[in-house]
Amino acid sequence: MNATASEPSYADFDDYRHNQRIVVILRWYLLVGWAVVNHWAAPWNQSLLYVDLIALALVVLNARLHLKLRRGEPVGRATAVVMSLFDVIAITAGIAITNRFTNSFFIMYYPALVGLALVTGSRSMSMIFVTAVTGAYASISIFMAPGLVLDNADDRRLVTRIFVMYIVVLLANLIIRAERAKRAEAVEAERARASENLELVTASQEERLRAAEQRFRIRREIHDGLAQSLYGLSLNIESIAAQAESSGAVEVGGRLAKLIPVARNALLETRHYMLDLSPMLSEQGDIRSALENLAAEFQNISDIEVDLNITNLNIDGEQVAGPGDAGEQISLQPEVATQICRIIQEALANVLRHSGASKVTVNMEHRPTGITVSIEDNGRGFDSANVSGGFGLGHIASRAEELGGKFEVITSDGAGTRILIELPPQPPQKEVTAK
């Protein structure tokens, strides 16, 4: 079982770094303890030299394994087994070439057997290992000179040491089995949660997909049906009005001419409903393209000239510099850009419905203090003191407030209308890096 990139390291049951930390630390303590005990006021001889060389080999191997653990590298089963087997072989050789039974080097058997028990996890294999080790140790102690001295109770000490070896292995085996069982339960619970979360995400995505498909069908029906009918109606009204005027039916032509802005407004509102059925920037790509398309569509439908100016705004990594600007860049989040598009859309609709203007100027500028949006027409204007929340201004004000901005209407009778929105600095769009 191998842990994937999305799974924690403990989910890999073939990675033994977690239990090898225990063995490495225990091996260090016992190596230091053995060195102190065997070199404390002890005469130097050839046997001690051989044992020191074996201990030095253990130090080098343990240091290499310790460094690997510090780096967070995985430890495979083969590495763990080889290290523990080397412990056993080194200890057995050290005991055989020294004073055998009286050599305290036997204490190194304990971390070696613990290491084997932690690696195997199998009780039968652990018992086989400890039986082989205790058999070798008993054979050396009994048959190699000077052998056991029964008067000194060496036989009892031998049995005690062997008994402790079995106890150590048995306890280590119980610990590793319990630890692996807990790890297995944790991995299974995590996978169950991941599966549940995946099902929830999938269901949510499917629901959004169904909603998007439904909106697309409604939008297509509006486009192919109502919008086309309104467009044809608007053209026919204009054509009949022109014919009536040219044929001398001035009164009829005048009445028809009054229907032209009504038809255009109905067509523009229908187009707005179509846009509301899908995210503003989903098809346009960015706020600049969305506003350019919005202005062009409004101009085509209304015959009102639109002058669009976007200053100091960075779109898709393109640097846009304005007067006095040294190249300051900003890229808006889609939610903020969509709200700004909706504000301008609503303001243009107001121009068509109420202003009687022939031209409208839309300015959008990024400054250190925030973003300023201005929509100004040359229409008839109105008395702002007598208007509260009408002409769609309430919708514009609420959208500006959602962005933490300010909304102001500057107008008077016969002087046109200027809608000014000042937004605070907006958080930039987060860049997504490929992995």
Q: How confident is the model at residue 273 (pLDDT cuts 50, 70, 90)?
A: low
Tokens at 54, concatenated: 């074996």
Cα 342 off chain centre by:
30
Q: What is the pLDDT of residue 131?
A: 92
Q: Which residue has the higher pLDDT, 99 or 164?
A: 164
Could you give the strand order of the β-sheet that contains 406-411, starting from the edge strand earlier in sequence? Answer: 305-311, 359-367, 370-377, 417-423, 406-411
* CA separation for the pair 217, 357 (Å, rounded): 35
Tokens at 28, concatenated: 């260090």
Q: What is the pLDDT of residues 384-424, one digit of tens each?
A: 666 555 556 787 888 888 888 888 888 887 788 899 999 88
Q: What is the pLDDT of residue 7?
A: 54
Q: What is the pLDDT of residue 5?
A: 45
In the predicted model, is pLDDT for residue 279 greater than 70?
Answer: no
Q: Hey, what domains does the chain have and what are their CATH numbers?
A: 1-278 (no CATH), 284-435 (3.30.565.10)
Q: What is the pLDDT of residues 409-419, one digit of tens each?
A: 888 877 888 99
Q: Which of 148, 18, 4, 120 is nearest to 75 (CA)?
A: 18
Q: What is the pLDDT of residue 327?
A: 43
Note whether 84 and 109 are within 8 A (CB). no
Top-confidence range, 54-63, 76-85, 383-392: 54-63
Q: Which helix (H) or strand (E) element contains residue 334?
A: helix 334-350
Q: What is the pLDDT of residues 183-209, one digit of tens each?
A: 788 878 888 888 889 888 888 888 888
The whole-chain average pLDDT of the chain stands at: 77
In the predicted model, is pLDDT for residue 260 greater than 80?
Answer: no
Note whether 12 and 3 are within 8 A (CB). yes
In the predicted model, is pLDDT for residue 328 greater than 90?
Answer: no
Q: What is the pLDDT of residue 435?
A: 38
Q: What is the pLDDT of residues 13-57, one digit of tens each?
A: 567 787 788 888 888 887 887 788 777 766 777 777 887 888 888
Q: What is the pLDDT of residue 160?
A: 92
Top-confidence range, 265-269, 305-309, 316-320, 389-393: 305-309
In the predicted model, is pLDDT for residue 3 greater than 60?
Answer: no
Q: What is the pLDDT of residues 118-169, one digit of tens each?
A: 777 678 888 888 999 999 999 988 888 777 888 788 888 899 999 999 998 9
* CA separation for the pair 154, 82 (Å, rounded): 32
